[in-house]
Amino acid sequence: MTLFFSNTMRKLFTIISALCLASTFQAQVRTEQLLEKGWKFTREDKVEFSQVGYDDAKWQSVTVPHDWAIYGPFSINNDRQNVAITQDGQKEAMEHAGRTGGLPFVGVGWYRLDFEAPSFEKGKKATLIFDGAMSHARVYVNGKEAGYWPYGYNSFHLDVTPFLKPGEVNELAVRLENENESSRWYPGAGLYRNVHLVVTEDAYVPTWGTHVTTPVVKDKFAKVHLETQWNMPEGKKITDYTIATEILNPEGKKVNADTRPGDELDEALFVQDFVVRNPSLWSVEYPHLYTAVSKIYEGDRLVDEYTTRFGIRTLEIIPEKGFFLNGKLTKFQGVCNHHDLGPLGAAVNDAAIRRQIRIMKDMGVNAIRTSHNMPAPELVAACDEMGMMLMLESFDEWKSAKVSNGYNKIFDEWVEKDLVNLIHHYRNNPSVVMWCVGNEVPDQWGGIKLARMLQDICHREDPTRPVTQGMDRPDVVVENGIAAIMDVAGFNYRPHLYQYAYNKLPQQIILGSETASTVSSRGVYKFPVTRQSMKKYDDHQSSSYDVEHCGWSNLPEDDWLWHNDKSWAIGEFVWTGFDYLGEPTPYYTDWPSHSSLFGIVDLAGLPKDRFYLYRSHWNKNEETLHILPHWNWEGREGEVTPVFVY
């Protein structure tokens, strides 16, 4: 058979051949170092700590991630707060000794690291990525300040190219400072998430520089749209470069590919579209993940390679009917979780995170709300892989304060930067199904323009996901219009107001963004067994009979009455999946109380009785039979001991 090629086809064949040959022989052009070991740490604070050559030999040797405060000691004087918690109904200021866990997280800490960057040389670019640094991080490279980022929960990146020295040992110093009354729970301290050094050519895909969407998803095919940002040196333009992308299926096999030169109409973007036949959809039950591997060339020289993991799935909220994942009606059986890992503190630990997800999935949980802040990348990656939906939350405050040194102090300057970082970081992750821009913010009494601004930023950066906020005064936000402008009206507690809100809101759906706040202590049973609100005991515990809650909250069945029976009630996020450090409600003033009692699972990761109540209701694929308190009770002979069976 004789084949005839047009001139255009010959040129394309020559380009593709050259690209394939170049990729075979080209050395790695993008490197990433995890800056984990070799760090030095001190709680002292001197300006010379940032200087080149400072002798830190006597400092403590630590490994990052590192939470300096979890080591203790506990003290009633650590962040002793005298406040009125208005969202808890407190009218006058009172002492809160263990509100932030009674751990010594307040103050300054310094980290120093000597490191080599063997792949960095003149003409290359270097980026430092901090997954989280608590807080007010000032970063110095070889004695020069490279950048500042105040919000301790957010990931951020810095261009450190001007400060690195090729072929030499470089010095990195980080100053962190936590202020008094800057949190309502234990926030952790230090470089508690990972630090990365990425080295690229001078033309490169920036951090979080791709955006994948799946605008069409059907049984037989899906359309995948990929936009890749491109940073170029001065004098270059996008048409000088060519991008070659392969789409790999969950088994790692190529299912499509596209090679195209940059288009000047797209400015600093490469825009590509693909068709994937017979797609494997991402879902809670089957979390299938695809990968886009993009190689960018200048002529036949490979200048960057960037990998993007994504899922193919659809999200839809239909008024009156509910939330649909891949066209299937799905109720949120969710929990809220703080970021600390109990006795491990705030330092990120992948094994502990995955253990938490496994425990929650066994209970029947299908979604987690990252209350009340940006998550660790390890949590999002694990949820992608294990099949857990995520509502990613950003802020506990806007312009109005809950605590005197909270986010309100930096809102005006930093809120858009923080929100854009969050969305760019995670908009390709299929587990992320909703953005949440606030939690019980005092601005809900009149900040309708602030709410609209934050939601508009989310829509601008990611038009594919709905936006909500957790509002704890349904009556107020329905009347002033804030609830009506949100994509999803998220209500914290007060389910008795759901019908009232539904009758007035145009969205015709309601989300329980935070529910229950039932309190219990594992293995502790109190008598008489009656429903109690804010009940306190001498041992600072709550009954595990699951009949006690807070003054503003309720028991699990109070929420189920709505989410089971009303199609417009699209599900709930229970407060909380796990106990956490701080907020020892109702023991605000009682020392030594320094952890919550809200969790369905305790600080050690051991399920309370309430775990099996939720499991019997949510996990329809497994049998549940759990009896409490136990078979006999020495000392209660002749008395009636109620037995609960889940």
Q: Is 121 a catalytic residue?
A: no
Question: E-assigned strands of 230-371?
Answer: 241-248, 254-261, 269-277, 290-298, 301-310, 315-318, 322-325, 328-329, 332-336, 367-369
Residue type, 102: G
**533: number of CA atoms within 13 Å, CB side?**
8
440 labelled catalytic? yes
Token pair recorded at residue 334: 């969710």
DSSP, collapsed to helix, strand or coil, labels residue 88 as helix
d(CA 609, CA 521): 9
Residue 191 near residue 174 (C-beta atoms within 8 A): yes
DSSP 220-258: SEEEEEEEEE-B--TT--GGGEEEEEEEE-TTS-EEEEE
* β-bridge pairing 389-393 and 432-439: parallel
Q: What are phi and psi of 533, to 5 degrees?
A: -120, 125
324: left (phi over 0), alpha (psi -120 to 50) or beta: beta
Structure tokens at 567: 């199609």
One-letter amino acid at 273 equals D
Distance from chain centroid for Cα 214: 22
Would you tell me how many other CB atoms lie within 10 Å of the CB of residue 211? 20
Residue with tokens 């930096």: 410
Contact between 425 and 210 (Cβ < 8 Å): no
- Dist CA 123 CA 161 (whole Å): 9
Indicate which residue of 177, 181, 393, 514 is catalytic.
Answer: 514
Sheet with 290-298: list strands edge to edge.
Answer: 254-261, 241-248, 290-298, 301-310
Residues 6+ apart with CB under 8 A from 303: 29, 201, 203, 204, 241, 296, 297
Query: Active site residue: 171, 393, 440, 548, which one?
Result: 440
- In 3D space, the residue among 493, 551, 549 whose CA is nearest the CA of residue 519 turns out to be 549
Q: Give the bridge partners for 503, in sequence order.
A: none
Side by side, the strands of the sheet bearing 195-200 are 31-34, 195-200, 125-130, 156-159
Instruction: Write out the two tokens for 407.
Output: 């986010």
- What region does 193 belong to: left with phi over 0, alpha with psi -120 to 50, or beta? beta
First to last CA, the chain: 73
Rounded-to-integer distance, Cα 354 and Cα 345, Å: 16
**Amino acid of residue 458:** C
The dihedrals phi and psi of 196, each to the nearest 5 degrees, come to: -125, 145
- Give CA separation, 519 vs 89, 543, 551, 598, 599, in Å: 17, 8, 11, 5, 7
Active site residues: 440, 514
